[in-house]
């Protein structure tokens, strides 16, 4: 499950973000049938954006969809989702959130579970290394991204 196309796409997106000089977090929304609905990465640096986190980018790139499209869907993300992205997953009733790691940041995992969303932590050392490097090199950009 955790090594499937959705998680691979999320990691690819995180690496794209890193290559662009951005915050290296990627996400990919996969429907119940296993097909990718949308994918994207954090665009704070690239677009001067306060809201285009990876999960928001994936949802936005999936476009307008009826509620039925999110039924049984999984949000793959390379990092524990922040409160905004947690809320976005709850809004659209995504079934499951698979996250790369939560060693560099712990987001709304407990609240997701409380609202009935399954949470899986892949504990990816690759995702962790991407974040650790970015936080080391650009701490001010990272803390801005999480409102701290």
Q: Is 49 in the site for a second copy (CB under 8 A)?
A: yes
Which tokens in the block code for residue 40? Answer: 């994207």
Contact pattern from residue 81 through residue 110 relative to a second copy, giving x for each residue in contact according to CB under 8 A and a dash for the rest: -xxxxxxx-xxxx--------------x--
Q: Is 132 in the site for a second copy (CB under 8 A)?
A: no
Question: Which lies closer to a second copy via its Cβ, residue 32 or residue 129?
Answer: 32
Q: How far is the CB of 88 from a second copy (least distance, A)?
A: 4
**Active-site residue (options: 13, 20, 55, 128):** 55
3-state secondary structure the chain: CCCCHHHHHHHHHHHHHHHCCCCCCEEEEECCCCCEEEEEECCHHHHCCCCCCHHHHHHHHHCCCCHHHHCCCEEEECCCCCHHHHHHHHHCCCCEEEECCCCCCCCCHHHHHHCCCEEEECCCHHHHHHHHHHHHHCHHHHHHHCCC
Q: Is 148 in the site for a second copy (CB under 8 A)?
A: yes
Q: Is 12 in the site for a second copy (CB under 8 A)?
A: no
Count Cα atoms within 13 angstroms, Cβ side, for 89.
38
Q: Is 48 in the site for a second copy (CB under 8 A)?
A: yes
Choosing from 9, 11, 25, 56, the residue that interacts with a second copy (CB under 8 A) is 56
Question: Which lies closer to a second copy via its Cβ, residue 118 or residue 126?
Answer: 118
Q: Is 109 a known active-site residue?
A: no
Q: Is 42 in the site for a second copy (CB under 8 A)?
A: no
- The catalytic residues are 55
């Amino acid at each position: 499950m955790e090594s499937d196309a959705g998680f691979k796409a999320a990691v690819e997106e995180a690496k794209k973000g890193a290559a662009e000089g951005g915050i290296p977090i990627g996400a990919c929304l996969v429907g119940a049938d296993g097909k990718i609905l949308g994918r994207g990465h954090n665009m704070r640096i690239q677009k001067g954006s306060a809201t285009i986190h990876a999960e928001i980018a994936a949802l936005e790139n999936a476009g307008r969809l009826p509620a039925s499209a999110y039924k049984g869907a999984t949000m793959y993300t390379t990092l524990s989702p922040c409160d905004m992205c947690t809320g976005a997953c709850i809004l659209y009733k995504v079934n499951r959130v698979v996250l790369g790691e939560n060693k560099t940041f712990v987001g709304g995992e407990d609240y997701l579970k409380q609202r009935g969303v399954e949470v899986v932590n892949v504990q990816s050392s690759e995702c962790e290394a991407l974040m650790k490097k970015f936080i080391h090199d650009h701490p001010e950009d990272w803390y801005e991204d999480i409102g701290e």
